[in-house]
């Protein structure tokens, strides 16, 4: 009997499916429900998927539907989904003093999309330790608000919110309207935004910043100059998108009576900034998304599609992908042979991968939207907003998720999974074997573009 050999990417895809399935079984048990009555399996599966895929779309209110056991299951799924199944398993192996083989290292490399196998063990240790520290600090800061308000229960709420925010999951157990009750609370806004941004920047940027800071002398403070190209793109794109998104949302919502019109100016800035940050695949909301103007909803969808940065907890096409596509397009427009960023030439394989990721996202979003519109009575903007949010693993909804029928829920479940595991990973896993380098190339012929 021929032994089936799975690629590392296929192992990662299957492991996510196993985690989702296990989580759905646990959530479908009566013990997971707040009232002791088992929820329908489709809703348990939806919740397990949205938790593992760190999306945040929910068909049932997390605050009132699940028992403490159910909430613990959801939080574990969020942590596993945010860090990745491979990271968690590697951490357990290291805890048990088990040595990592070549196959284990290949899994880690593929899971984080790294270009080298050097220092993988140290990398995983740093990821786990750094995550624990940041989530811990976030939980302590949340407690300053939630313990006075909820008592001892505020400790659990703070831990849950901190992990969910860092993992860019957007699921909370504070209230059924997400964080709308804290829209003007500076501490909640600041802590949540900081956790979202830190998780979305990516671990590579963390270690690069620490490396440069440690190596710089007190007289030489030009930190940005000595960062890698990846870090420069991630930081610049993140800052630019957050600021520009906040400004546009502030302008478009300034006189909207259903959102910002009656707010004080500082509160308007807080809410607009939070909306811009949370669209980077976090999913928390301080204003009802269905009350946004069409212009703000469109800006939010663009920000959702772009998402965070690679090798982090965020989803979306990623900032670096968009930056590479933009620079490649500009190089073509200017009739330049090579695309460059910050004085560095972008590798052709990076451009090809960026095109593949963007194409896959377009196909997933378009296909899911068409099927969702065909099987539900929804407006186009609500359906597109839902699908974009699911594909980019954001979790924001125009109050549409709870109205989904069984077919609609299944469509969004598939969309969330495809968005989380990554279109390019899925293509590699399901595709055929690599072509032999000795095969004769097909003849080249020019075609008209544009």
Tokens of 8: 């590392």
Comparing 199-213, 229-243, 405-419, the range with the smallest average pLDDT is: 199-213
Q: How confident is the model at residue 91 (pLDDT cuts 50, 70, 90)?
A: confident
Q: How confident is the model at residue 104 (pLDDT cuts 50, 70, 90)?
A: low
pLDDT tens-digit series, residues 159-172:
999 999 999 999 99
Residues 6+ apart with CB under 8 A from 3: none
Give the torsion through C-alpha atoms of 173, 174, 177, 183, to 10 deg: -140
**What's the alpha-carbon Rg for the chain, to the nearest Å?**
22
Mean per-residue pLDDT, 269-290: 94
419 vs 350: CA distance, rounded Å: 20
Instruction: Yes or no: say if 128 and 83 are a contact pair by the CB < 8 Å rule.
Output: yes
Mean per-residue pLDDT, 129-143: 95
Q: What local confidence, expressed as pLDDT, does residue 112 receive?
A: 64
Burial class (CB in 10 A: 0-12, 13-18, 19+), 446: exposed
Mean per-residue pLDDT, 77-87: 84
pLDDT tens-digit series, residues 298-330:
999 999 999 998 878 888 999 999 999 999 999
Residue with tokens 């945040």: 56
Mean per-residue pLDDT, 431-437: 50
Q: What local confidence, expressed as pLDDT, does residue 4 receive?
A: 65
pTM for this prediction:
0.89
pLDDT greater than 70 at residue 437: no
Task: State the chain's mean pLDDT as an integer.
Answer: 88
pLDDT above 70 as % of the chain: 86
Q: What local confidence, expressed as pLDDT, does residue 122 receive?
A: 79
Reduced to 3 states (helix: H, G, I; strand: E, B; else coil), residue 298 is: helix
Q: What local confidence, expressed as pLDDT, does residue 432 receive?
A: 46
6 CA to centre of own chain = 26
pLDDT tens-digit series, residues 332-380:
898 888 888 888 898 888 888 889 889 999 999 999 999 999 999 889 9
DSSP letter assigned to residue 40: P
Beta carbons within 10 angstroms of residue 274's beta carbon: 26
pLDDT greater than 50 at residue 47: yes
Q: What local confidence, expressed as pLDDT, does residue 370 receive?
A: 97
Q: How confident is the model at residue 132 (pLDDT cuts 50, 70, 90)?
A: very high
Q: What local confidence, expressed as pLDDT, does residue 121 receive?
A: 77
What is the chain's length? Answer: 450
pLDDT greater than 70 at residue 435: no
pLDDT greater than 90 at residue 213: no
Q: What local confidence, expressed as pLDDT, does residue 85 receive?
A: 72
pLDDT greater than 90 at residue 274: yes
Q: What local confidence, expressed as pLDDT, does residue 115 receive?
A: 61
pLDDT tens-digit series, residues 388-399:
999 999 999 999
Higher-pLDDT residue of 334, 215: 334
pLDDT greater than 90 at residue 284: yes
DSSP letter assigned to residue 444: P
pLDDT greater than 80 at residue 436: no
């Amino acid at each position: 009997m021929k032994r089936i050999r799975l690629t590392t990417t296929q192992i990662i895809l299957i492991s996510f499916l196993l985690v989702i399935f296990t989580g759905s079984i646990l959530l479908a048990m009566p013990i997971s429900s707040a009232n002791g009555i088992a929820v329908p399996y489709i809703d348990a599966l939806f919740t397990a998927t949205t938790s593992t895929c760190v999306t945040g779309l929910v068909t049932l209110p997390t605050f009132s539907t699940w028992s403490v056991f159910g909430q613990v299951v959801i939080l574990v799924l969020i942590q596993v989904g945010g860090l990745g199944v491979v990271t968690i398993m590697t951490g357990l192996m290291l805890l048990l003093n088990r040595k990592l083989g070549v196959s284990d290292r290949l899994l880690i490399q593929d899971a984080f999309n790294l270009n080298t196998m050097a220092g993988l063990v140290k990398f995983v240790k740093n990821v786990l330790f750094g995550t624990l520290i940041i989530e811990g600090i976030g939980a302590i800061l949340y407690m300053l608000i939630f313990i006075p308000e909820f008592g001892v229960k505020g400790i659990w709420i703070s831990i849950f919110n901190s992990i969910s925010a860092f993992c860019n999951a957007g699921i909370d157990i504070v209230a059924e309207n997400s964080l709308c009750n804290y829209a003007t609370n500076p501490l909640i806004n600041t802590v949540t935004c900081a956790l979202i941004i830190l998780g979305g920047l990516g671990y590579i940027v963390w270690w690069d910043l620490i490396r440069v800071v440690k190596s710089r002398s007190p007289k030489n403070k030009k930190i940005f100059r000595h960062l890698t190209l990846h870090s420069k793109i991630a930081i610049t794109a993140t800052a630019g998108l957050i600021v520009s998104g906040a400004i546009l949302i502030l302008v478009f919502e300034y006189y909207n009576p259903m959102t910002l019109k009656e707010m004080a100016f500082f509160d308007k800035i807080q809410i607009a900034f939070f909306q811009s940050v949370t669209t980077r695949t976090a999913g928390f909301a301080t204003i009802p998304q269905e009350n946004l103007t069409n212009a703000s909803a469109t800006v939010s969808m663009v920000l959702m599609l772009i998402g965070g940065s690679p090798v982090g907890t965020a989803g979306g096409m990623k900032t670096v992908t968009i930056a590479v596509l933009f620079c490649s397009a500009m190089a073509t427009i200017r009739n330049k042979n090579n695309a460059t960023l910050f004085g560095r030439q972008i590798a052709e394989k990076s451009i090809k991968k960026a095109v593949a990721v963007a194409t896959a996202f377009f196909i997933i979003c378009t296909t899911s939207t068409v099927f969702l519109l065909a099987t539900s009575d929804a407006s186009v903007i609500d359906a597109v907003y839902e699908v974009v949010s699911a594909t980019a693993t954001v979790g924001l909804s125009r109050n549409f998720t709870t109205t989904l029928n069984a077919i609609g829920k299944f469509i969004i479940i598939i969309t969330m999974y495809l968005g989380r595991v990554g279109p390019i990973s899925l293509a590699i896993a399901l595709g055929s074997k690599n072509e032999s380098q000795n095969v004769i190339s097909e003849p080249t012929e020019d075609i008209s573009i544009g």
